[in-house]
Each structure stands twice: as structure tokens, then as C-alpha cells.
Amino acid sequence: MGEPQAVYTTDEYGRPFIILREQAKKTRAHGIEAIKTHILAAKTVANIVKSSLGPRGLDKILISPDGEITVTNDGATILGQMQVEHQIAKLLVQLSKSQDDEIGDGTTGVVVLAGALLEASEALLDKGIHPIRIADGFDRACTVAVEELGRISDTIEFSKDNTSNLLKSAMTSLGSKIVSKEHEQFAQIAVDAVMQVADLDRRDVPFDLIKVDGKVGGSLADTTLIKGVLIDKDMSHPQMPRSIKDARIAILTCPFEPPRPKTKHKLDITSVEEYHKLRDYEKEKFNSMIKHVKDTGANLVICQWGFDDEANHLLMQNDLPSVRWVGGPEIELIAIATQGRIVPRFEDLKAAKLGKAGVVRELSFGTTRDKMLVIEDCANTRAVTVFVRGSNKMIVDEAKRALHDALCAVRNLVVDNRVVYGGGAADISCSIAVSKAADEIPSIEQYAMRAFATALDAVPMALAQNSGLSPIETLTEVRSRQIKENNSRLGIDCNGRGQNDMKEQFVYDPLISKRQQYLLATQLVRAVLKIDDVIVAGEADE
């Protein structure tokens, strides 16, 4: 007897209907095909950023709808600005963003790993293994890999006076960036900025005290760290002093102008006397406001709003230098740095609410004499500003992004000072550990674990490929040496220094960054494997 050609079944109301045998097969196959389509979309996105991995990785040009150009090799920036239509590809964009938000570095690596895991799972689906069993195997393998990371990690010592180890980690982060020509200087700036604001006892780095600003002009080597606040403003009147020592700063969010009626009243002036009355009233109000400020002992006014020429002239006559149109975030940073209070009304202004700074000076540069205001020797010495210079806007923006990654790498070591070694060394070591663990598991999940081990090799292979080496030969050689010498520090020699020991090359990765990459990539792959269909949700019929 052959197989019956039809399946008899009932729907949820008990009504019988027939599924033809071929249709039943098609229904089962449909879910797998849908998953494969999703995997293809994710692989396409991962392959775009794969060539940007490592110190020899290539950059991408991103063109915005307005025609603005961004040149970068930062994974989160590339994916964030790409126009991605497929829903699964959008998940990969969110994956790199979550790595960027949580850790700040490793955004390219996490996408490459997720793409490799999905590619490996495709072969398992072809063997007929159920997607959930694959996902369970990946979870087990991820647990083994994270344990192995903890085992091979080294603790690095540092203090306020000895930051050489932090410097090496920052240099690893900057090695693949556009600033690599000046990466020692940028790494030193990142370390100094973090150490200035860090609370080492609480292992806390408040990033809101570090401001990164940039101006076109000059070279990357002109980038400096200012121990204070830098704002892109100058004095409101050209005859006001350019430098103020022992500054006592009134930080105002109320404008220098007479109060206006809040109702829709009209004021009709029909005679000269009434006009003079109004002018005298305004002048009296301005003088009253300036007196309020002078009585507190303030010798500099920083105002969130603008003020007209009359107020500006009176401020100059009363020897009260002022800065106007200072943005909200900058006002807050000035208040934190100078330990002043933001004052919303002139009546609330008191001497105790003034901010204090050793010197406030105008900084001018370039043939155009661009001016910026520097507030140094602040009451709160922990506020710092990094002032980035570059030959064009594109380089300044990329340098800012690179500096953000370096600051995050140093911050991560302050939070948890354990490191693993870069250059793919940690990935190869975890791959070997997962392969060994897979041999001891009797269930079908061992296939998924071996696939996970293969996927971990994708990062060192991409590093070798981007460095112009033969990927498979290089990986095989380093992997066999790791097993033979039992040395988890051996990785891909991307810079051609003839040395595979990443500890000797000072290539450090913070442990929490690498661990987060594994956990996030595995979570995303599990989610993708569980999706067998995409349904566009529409509004229900009335």
C-alpha cells in the first residue's frame, strides 16, 4: 500500500476538511523557507560591514537624502544611516545600536558574529534540524563561550598615576579608525578625560561631564583636552573684555527684556509723552535687572536667551561682560562645572547661586578669527571638554565618533578591569572550547554547538581577509598553535609585526565588551530562528 494522498482533519469548530499530502509538505516547508529568507537578509547586512572590521578595515561613504556625505567604518553609524527595508535586517541595525548604547565599542563585531551564526544555522536547517533545537544549542554554546572568556581573561591594574594599561586598550579601540595616524595622542586624551571625571572608588564614569566639541581647520594633531568647558560663543559686545579672572558667573534662563503682558492686549501709543514714558519704563526695568546681577557680585552673565542692543549697551556700560544664546545642554554643563545654580528669575538671583571659575577667556583661531569661550579652573574640576580639529567636517565628525569609542573602552575598564586579547584570539579560544564541549553532549544540539564554534571563527577570518592575508590558512595556523601551545593569547597579526601573541602587541579588548557581543548576537539569532512568517498587520474591519 502506498502513502495515503490526503489527510482528513477538522478546523476549530469541528468541521471536517481535507489537506492533500503535497499541500501538507508545502505547509511544513513554508516555515523553513521563510526563515531562510530572513537569514539571507541578515547575511546581506552583515557582509556590508564585514569589510570594515579590524585595523585594516575599509571605510564606507554614506550619502544622506540631502546629499550630505559621511565617511566612517563605525558599525553602528553605517547601519544607523543605511536605508534598510527588510524587517530582519532592521533587527540587525537595532542589535548594533544596543551594543553601542550599552558598551560603546564592538558594534561591527557583534553584527559580523550574528551574520555568521545565521549562516551556520542555514546548513543545519537543510539537514532537517528544527529551528528551536538549533536555538537551544546556540544558547548552550554561548554559555560555554562566556565561561571560557572569563577563564582566559586577565585583570589589568591601573591607578590615577599609572594609566599605561588603559592607554593600550584605548589604542586598540582607535587602531581601526580614521585617527590611527594620531592614535597615541587621541588615546592619551581619552584616558586623561575619563580619569579626570571617574570616581574610582564607586567604579563610575559620568559621561555627561565629558563634552566633545569640534571645529574645522587645523589638523588632527591640534586636538586638545581642556579642563573646563568650551562653548561656541563669544562676548555679546565687541568692547567687552576678552578675559576675566576669578570669574563669578550668573547663569540665567530669563531674558534681559521687560515683562510682556500674557494676555492679547494691544498697546496704542498716540503721543510723544507716552512713547517717552514707555522708553523710560523699559530703561528702568533694564537698570533694575542689571542692578540685581551687580548686587550679587557677579562679573559675568551667561544667558540662555538673547537680548537687544539697548540691554547689550547697558551691560557694557555697567562693566558686566555677558554671553547670550547659550544652549540648554551647555548651560547645564556650565552649572555643573562651576557649581552654580541656573536662575529662572532675576528676583531669585543671590550670591550663593553664582558659579565660580579661575579664568574665562575667548579663544580665537584661524585667519577668520573664529571665537570660542573657554571656562577653565572651574569649582568642579571634573568637567572636561575635548576640542577636536580636522581639515574638513567629515574628518572632525569621524574623529568624534572614534573618540567616543575610545572613551567607552576606557570607561568599560574602569567599571570592570578584566580584559581578553584582541585580534580574534579570544574568539578562536572560545571556538575551541565550544567544539570540545559539543563532543560531550549526546543530544542533537551538538550539531548546533559545532555550528556556533564555526561561526566564532568568522571574526578572525574577517580580520585576516581585511589585512590582506589568506583567511583560511592564517586561521588554521593560529588555531593549531593555540591548541598545541595551550596559549589563548595567539591571534591574527593584522599589522604584520611578525608576532601573533596579542599580549606582546598590547591588543586589549574589555571583557564586558566581548561578552556582550556574544550574548546579544545569540539572543538576536534565537529570535530570528523563531520567526517563520512576516505578516503585515492591518486594521481590523469595522
Active site residues: 74, 107-108, 405
**Three-state secondary-structure class, residue 360:** strand
Written as one string, the DSSP assignment of 103-154 is TSS-HHHHHHHHHHHHHHHHHHHHTT--HHHHHHHHHHHHHHHHHHHHHH-E
Residue 177's alpha-carbon distances to 82, 127, 393, 464, 476, in angstroms, are 20, 41, 16, 17, 28
What residues have CB less than 8 Å from 295, skipping those under 6 apart? none
Written as one string, the DSSP assignment of 480-532 is HHHHHHT-TTB---TT--S--BTTTTT-EEEHHHHHHHHHHHHHHHHHHHT--
**Three-state secondary-structure class, residue 231:** strand
With contact defined as beta carbons under 8 Å apart, do 517 and 109 qualify? yes
Cell 553532549 locates to 441
| Calculated CA dihedral for residues 331, 336, 341, 342, nearest 10 degrees | 20
**Three-state secondary-structure class, residue 373:** strand
For 219-366, list the strands marked E by DSSP: 224-226, 228-231, 243-252, 300-303, 322-323, 342-343, 355-365
With contact defined as beta carbons under 8 Å apart, do 96 and 76 qualify? yes
What residues have CB less than 8 Å from 329, skipping those under 6 apart? none
Q: What is the DSSP letter of 96?
A: H
